[in-house]
Structure 1
Amino acid sequence: MNEVLTARDPLYEELYDVRREAEDAGNLVEGDANPGMNALRDAAPVHKGFLRELLGMPEFHRHSAAKGRQGYTCFSYATCDQAFRDFTNFSNKIMQMGPAEPGEPPRLGLLEMDEPEHRAYRRTIQPKFSRPVAFKWWTELWVQEIVDALMLALKDERSADLNLQLCARIPVHTITRAVGLDGNDALVFRHALMRSSAYGRIGLDEVQRNAATVQNMLTDLVGKRRRERRDDLTSHLVDATLELPDGSSRPLTDAEIVMHLRVVLIAGGGTSWRQMGITLWALLADREQLEIVRADRGMLERAVIESVRWNPTDPVFSRLVAQDCELGGVPLPAGAVLEICLGAANRDPARWDNPDVFDVRRPVQHQLGWGMGTHQCMGMNVAKAEIIAAINGLLDSFPNIRLDPDQPAPFLTGGLEQRGISALPVRLD
């Protein structure tokens, strides 16, 4: 596993380039969007119009179901928090992935479900993502071993790009091994997974071939775990009991287990990578902040939380307005799309002092970078464990680590839906 983990595989560059990812998706945003989002928030808590429209950007819809609908966007902490919590008026079904096969009805996953179905399905997997389990089971079985191997691979290097040589590797190898796939399959599987939903960017035949690869690998894995359990997520799901809203209960089907695995593999190999880069960039760009966490490692979790507040990797989410309602004094018609601009909400001066500044000493209070309510990010504790382990490893192994002054300075890039760091060049000597 360690050879694959530390190899200079060109797939890392293809899969973990934030700018290229956005260019391929057609949603690249040039420059810092935060000032524009802040200005809209300060003008009014809720505006009519999609976020990109309000910012004067070209049209882009993350979810095909949003096309042709009216758009509204909320910006203040209060309205965004309300929208996340109010699953009665604001539905996740805007995120439907579409039919699993031509002619089939749409297959709903956790991200598309509303209550009470969402809660029932989430309970079958949530125990493996609790804070105690993340900092013990995940860390002891996978995260620490992966971090240690990467530190060893970097020990003789004078410089590195941590985006590719660290941040890209920890989450994808952790989640791949945690579900029960061979660590050697990490990049091949993620490549197929991302291209299985690349409609419009590659040919339909290639999309279908990659979708078949993903489906076959996961279906085969579920079959293996039904025959022989291991200490992994798939085995847990095979043994899980789904307690349905009507009071009945049953095991999960193979299709339902595959649905769960797809969700955690997409999020676990992507979002954590970008947020790890943002956190490291924030610390390395401000020596005072770095020295605070070096002196007191207990501050590392606060650094992760603050990075998610300051620059969440997903600064906007969408909901379908399920019925006529009102938010922030603005009437919203049923069938419209509400975009929740948590990037602006997390910098609301009504809640935080000097909110545009990254500060690990800031008192911790709820922020929206991981969402809120029933759909709060299930994997946030695993992401924290990964990022904390990575920073601890770097501080222990490379006491002189610093941004490389001879390389271009890192900057935020990507789309409004997936922000990350351009690169993270450092000196290690």
Structure 2
Amino acid sequence: MVAQARIAIRDFDDPTYDPFAADEVNFGDHLDPYPQIARWRDQAPVIKGAYRPEMGLAAALMPDRENFIIVGTSEINTVLTDTSRFSNAAYKFNLGVTFGQGSISTMDNPDHGRWRKIFQKIFLPQYVSTWGETIVDPVVRDLMGKFLERGHADLIEEFTLRYPFEVIYRQLDLPQSDVRTFQRLAIGQTDYVNYEKAIEAGVKLGAYFKDLVAERRARPGDDLVSLLALTSVDGDYLPEEILISFLRQLMNAAGDTTYRGTSVLLTALLENPDQLEALRANRSLIPQAIEEALRWDGPVAVQLRMATCDTQLAGVDIPAGSLLDVVAGAANRDPALYPDPDRFNIFRDRKPHFSFSRGPHICVGQHLARVEMTRALHAVLDHLPGLRPDPDKPRAEIRGSMMRVPHHLYVRFGD
């Protein structure tokens, strides 16, 4: 790809800025937010206030607006599915600023449905499954090959943190020289506490993707950028603004959440060795193990919506323009739906969870996330016999108020 050498990616102006260090500030370091969430749910399905400051984080997104915390399962489902009253325009104040107002996460119908059709066409299960062998498996082999002979590893730092991002680099067919800067900019886009850095990241990624899209349209390949640029539905092609917004968001929507979900899954299995051994004995249990991890401690605990009109929810008046923190984690641990909900149990009766949202904005990349988590778990079972927590290292702790993940998972394997 000789022509690609002309495409320049620009790092942050401040070389000392570390976007990876901002995770706790933006998303919290709470060890267990679920007791507080349960207390809210016991109190009322709709609570006046904003989730972030109630969890000890920085101020609410738009403090001049009314804020409500939604913790009742029925009310959560209503807010996520009733698009006539509750809008994704709430994301225009954060995601829309850095990913671009062309992000489908900020849109409502009819625009959302029109452009989502193209993304759905590319991310259908029959297409995504082919990436498992051609893209996902080689990434797994490369990463595991670096620690297999050692007999011990930090599965977060050496595997799950890198794994989904490496998949995205290969899907986009990025030059290896761009990868480190690309990841720094992509992560920095959601550092809303350092707002000027988030803006800078969005601008620089936008310029990079504009040149990359032009190059792939002129010389298309079988990479994801080419597919997105050249795929149409009903005669519609993605406008450049929407395509570039999606590419800006891909690293966070597909990479960050998959890293968190896979990390939680492996942590939960290591804390429940009987269930890990059950998977070794019966690989058909893998799908329900993945769904249970997503239910039990999904990577995104809170989703955001805006009231489009004066309305009521559970008898509470919701003024037009109010912001609603929709706590998916509350529904996922509702004891009325899931007996003993705080327990990780891959054998429980499967019921749909809320971790990929509901309604028209249900995650378009959910099939790819499941493929990546499935392939990762197969690789662990295939190549890490006798996997167990490292007794000489601290135990893993899943942390976060908004986005959940363990930062380390020290393990030993082999005899």
TM over 0.5: yes
What is the TM-score when the length of structure 1 is the normalising length? 0.86
Q: Contact 2:70/2:76 (CA < 8 Å) preserved in 1? A: yes
- Residue of structure 2 aligned with 1:191, choices 176, 184, 197: 184
Measure how far apart 1:199 and its partner are: 5.2
Measure how far apart 1:21 and its partner are: 3.3
Distance 1:99 1:132 in 2: 29
Distance 1:268 1:184 in 2: 21
**In structure 1, what is the equivalent of residue 162 of structure 2?**
169
**Structure 1 residue 21 and structure 2 residue 27: aligned?**
no
- Residue of structure 2 aligned with 1:420, choices 401, 405, 415: 405
**In structure 2, what is the equivalent of residue 236 of structure 1?**
227
Amino acid at match of 1:288: D
Distance 1:426 1:222 in 2: 41
Distance 2:200 2:87 in 1: 32
**In structure 2, what is the equivalent of residue 76 of structure 1?**
72
Q: Which has the larger displacement, 193-202 or 210-219? A: 193-202
Measure how far apart 1:197 and its partner are: 5.1
Distance 2:37 2:270 in 1: 26
Residues 60, 308 of structure 1: alpha-carbon distance in 2 compared, 3 angstrom cutoff: farther
Amino acid at match of 1:335: G
What is the TM-score when the length of structure 2 is the normalising length? 0.89
- Residue of structure 1 aligned with 2:91, choices 88, 95, 105: 95
Measure how far apart 1:426 and its partner are: 0.5
Distance 1:398 1:35 in 2: 34
**In structure 2, what is the equivalent of residue 85 of structure 1?**
81
Distance 1:199 1:412 in 2: 22
**In structure 2, what is the equivalent of residue 4 of structure 1?**
none
Distance 2:316 2:82 in 1: 16
Q: Contact 1:283/1:290 (CA < 8 Å) preserved in 2? A: yes
**In structure 1, what is the equivalent of residue 248 of structure 2?**
262
Q: Which has the larger displacement, 158-167 or 29-38? A: 29-38
SS class of match (1:201): helix
Residues 304, 336 of structure 1: alpha-carbon distance in 2 compared, 3 angstrom cutoff: same
Amino acid at match of 1:36: Q
Measure how far apart 1:195 and its partner are: 2.7
**In structure 2, what is the equivalent of residue 393 of structure 1?**
379
Residues 58, 267 of structure 1: alpha-carbon distance in 2 compared, 3 angstrom cutoff: closer
Alignment of 1:157-306 (within 5 A): 157-196=150-189, 198=191, 201=194, 204=196, 210-241=201-232, 249-306=235-292
Measure how far apart 1:263 and its partner are: 1.9
Identical aligned residues as a percent: 28
SS class of match (1:340): strand
**In structure 2, what is the equivalent of residue 246 of structure 1?**
none
Measure how far apart 1:353 and its partner are: 0.9
SS class of match (1:353): coil
Measure how far apart 1:419 and its partner are: 1.2
Q: Contact 2:30/2:399 (CA < 8 Å) preserved in 1? A: yes
Distance 1:200 1:355 in 2: 33
- Residue of structure 1 aligned with 2:149, choices 127, 143, 156: 156
Residues 255, 108 of structure 1: alpha-carbon distance in 2 compared, 3 angstrom cutoff: closer
**Structure 1 residue 309 and structure 2 residue 295: aligned?**
yes
- Residue of structure 1 aligned with 2:394, choices 405, 408, 426: 408
**In structure 2, what is the equivalent of residue 352 of structure 1?**
338
SS class of match (2:47): strand
Amino acid at match of 2:386: N
Distance 1:212 1:201 in 2: 15
SS class of match (2:76): helix
Q: What count of residue pairs does the alignment treat as equivalent? A: 397
**In structure 1, what is the equivalent of residue 103 of structure 2?**
109
Alignment of 1:313-392 (within 5 A): 313-392=299-378
**In structure 2, what is the equivalent of residue 125 of structure 1?**
119
Q: Contact 1:72/1:336 (CA < 8 Å) preserved in 2? A: yes
Distance 2:192 2:35 in 1: 32
Runs of 4 or more above 6 Å deviation: 98-102
Measure how far apart 1:98 and its partner are: 6.6
SS class of match (1:418): coil
**In structure 1, what is the equivalent of residue 34 of structure 2?**
34
Distance 2:220 2:203 in 1: 24
